[in-house]
Structure 1
Amino acid sequence: MDYGWLNLGSLLLGLIAWLLPVVNMMRNKKQSQKKWMLLSFVSMIACATSICFQIFYNYHLVMIEDWSALMDTIGAVALASSVLLIVTIMLNALTIISFRERSVR
């Protein structure tokens, strides 16, 4: 079984986690604003799943005892996961602030 798809899936889900809040904030103000919370929730789920895929891939490396690959990549994986989580939280927080200001007006 090829486990490389976990890395590709992680990358795609990470991009989705970042794009959904951006698209959410760029929507026309006249459009229905009922789905902004759902899109923010889906963004956070995509982020969590992306990080989970990386954990599964690292588990695979441990199971096949590929210690050199694990030692070579774990630093970058930890940094990328941290950046993904922080940026996703910040983008979703901006979305919440943006829609809260729109609803007050």
Structure 2
Amino acid sequence: MMGWLNVGSLVLGLIAWILPVVSLMRYIQGGHKNWAAFSVMSVSACAISLYFQIVYNHHLVTIGDWSALMDTTGALVKVGAVLLIVTIVLNTATLVMYRDRKVK
């Protein structure tokens, strides 16, 4: 059951990246509705994805699987940082592009 947290985290991480890309593609095609909703959903998916990893690490501590915890913590920190940074960059790019569009 707890293994699904990793799958859910991966899916939500991909959603966190796909939503701003879809929003940017809609900008290029001339659509500009709901871009803020896409950004909020993207950041929310990123936050939930990271929360799933925290819960999974808590589960490993609870069951005392120290070897799994020690093996995965380093990679988890790096991947979590990449997820967070890319999500912020994509959503910032979306914000900048749509902000400039409204000024015109």
TM-score, normalised to structure 1, is 0.94
What is the 5 A alignment of 1:1-105?
2-27=1-26, 28-29=29-30, 31=31, 33-105=32-104
Q: Which runs of 5+ in 2 are unaligned?
A: none
Over residues 26-62 of structure 1, what are the superposed CA-to-partner deviations in whole Å (9 max), with x where a residue is unaligned?
0121x3x230001100000000000000000000000
| Matched residues, number | 102
Tell me which amino acid in the other structure corresponds to 1:77: L
Deviation >4 Å, runs of 4+: none
Secondary structure, aligned partner of 2:77: helix
Q: 1:101: how far off?
A: 1.3
Cα separation, 2, equivalents of 1:77 and 1:9: 15
Q: Which runs of 5+ in 1 are unaligned?
A: none
TM-score, normalised to structure 2, is 0.95
Secondary structure, aligned partner of 1:58: helix
Q: CA RMSD in A?
A: 0.7
Tell me which amino acid in the other structure corresponds to 1:40: S
Cα separation, 2, equivalents of 1:41 and 1:34: 14
Q: 1:103: how far off?
A: 1.2
Identity of aligned residues (%): 58
